[in-house]
């Protein structure tokens, strides 16, 4: 993170080349994000071994890089789709690291890749803070995607500040709904949204040439996209975001859950029905 250094800080598998403690770990036992900096081997040697670079200089480097990062990602997007282009790859990378190393209890690799999540989280936090208007909000926070975003930001701050604790007492866990909102992994819930809103979304997807078909009358009904992707009807955060993006919210006349139950009954009795 030396502003004057042009060395690549990541090796071929995206692992961080070297990270250093700003204040020596053996003195402080501080392994927090604030006390870490990424350096190339040459800068690391000058700082850690030969003392050619001072602690104050390294702190200035980190401050400069943080300000650059905030400026670069302080972008206000005109649409959720444009924001998604930036956010989705970062969330997917975090998800892959978490799934492959943390869930598989590979502590060595998790420790190596965790700093990458910290960097990604700061990028995501900046993007979300500057684009809160692109998420639906409701008085009932259980139905608010904006509340999910705010929970994520709180989680990021807590994750960063407790990383060095020997016993990590974290109150705010990663909200799984955020991966649903950006179409990465669905969240299974109850089907609470109206059939009229779903019908409007299908019209929009048809106009955009994305709609293939819809499967109702099954345990997990879904919209099949021409790309092969699926939008599960019980994946409420994602569906809510799609309704908001495409102005699809309509007054509920027929509850989708009731409609799907009725179609399930027809299917179980081999009664033919058609969905247009």
Is the backbone of residue 32 left (phi > 0), alpha (psi -120 to 50) or beta?
A: beta
More confident residue, 81 or 48: 81
DSSP bridge pairs for 16: 10
Measured in degrees and rounded to the nearest 5, phi and psi for residue 193 equal -95, 155
For the segment 191-229, what is each residue's pLDDT rounded down to a tens digit? 656 788 888 999 999 999 999 998 888 888 899 999 999
DSSP strand pairing (19-21 vs 211-215) = unpaired
Please tell me the predicted confidence (pLDDT) of residue 167.
Answer: 60
Q: What SS3 state is found at 182? A: coil
Give residue 80's pLDDT band: very low, low, confident or very high (50, 70, 90): very high
For the segment 1-18, what is each residue's pLDDT rounded down to a tens digit? 667 776 766 655 555 557
For the segment 103-115, what is each residue's pLDDT rounded down to a tens digit? 888 888 888 888 8
Q: What SS3 state is found at 142? A: helix
For the beta sheet containing 211-215, the strands, ordered from the edge strand earlier in sequence to the opposite edge, are 211-215, 222-225, 230-232
Would you say 177 and 145 are in contact if contact means Cβ atoms under 8 Å apart? yes
Q: Please report, for the chain, the start and end positions of each structural domain, with discontinuous segments joined by +.
A: 1-73, 76-185, 195-268
């Amino acid at each position: 993170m030396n502003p004057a250094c042009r060395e690549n800080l990541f090796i071929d598998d995206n692992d961080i080349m070297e990270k250093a403690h700003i204040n020596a770990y053996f003195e402080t036992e501080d392994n927090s994000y604030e006390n870490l900096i990424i350096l190339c081997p040459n800068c690391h040697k000058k700082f850690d071994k030969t003392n050619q670079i001072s602690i104050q200089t390294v702190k200035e480097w980190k401050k400069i890089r943080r300000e650059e990062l905030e400026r670069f990602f302080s972008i206000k997007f005109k649409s959720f789709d444009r924001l998604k282009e930036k956010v989705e790859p970062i969330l997917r990378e975090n998800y892959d690291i978490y799934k492959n190393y943390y869930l598989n209890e590979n502590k060595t690799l998790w420790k190596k890749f965790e700093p990458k999540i910290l960097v990604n989280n700061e990028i995501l936090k900046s993007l979300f803070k500057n684009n809160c208007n692109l998420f639906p909000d409701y008085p009932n926070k259980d139905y608010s995607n904006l509340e999910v975003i705010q929970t994520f930001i709180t989680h990021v701050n807590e994750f960063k500040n407790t990383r060095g604790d020997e016993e990590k007492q974290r109150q705010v866990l990663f909200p799984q709904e955020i991966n649903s909102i950006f179409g990465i992994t669905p969240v299974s819930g109850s089907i609470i949204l109206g059939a009229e809103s779903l019908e409007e979304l299908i019209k929009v997807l048809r106009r955009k040439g994305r709609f293939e078909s819809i499967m109702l009358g099954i345990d997990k009904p879904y919209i099949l996209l021409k790309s092969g992707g699926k939008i599960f009807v019980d994946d409420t955060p994602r569906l809510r975001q799609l309704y908001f993006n495409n102005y699809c919210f309509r007054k509920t006349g027929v509850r989708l859950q009731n409609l799907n139950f009725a179609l399930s009954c027809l299917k179980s009795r081999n009664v033919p029905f058609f969905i247009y």
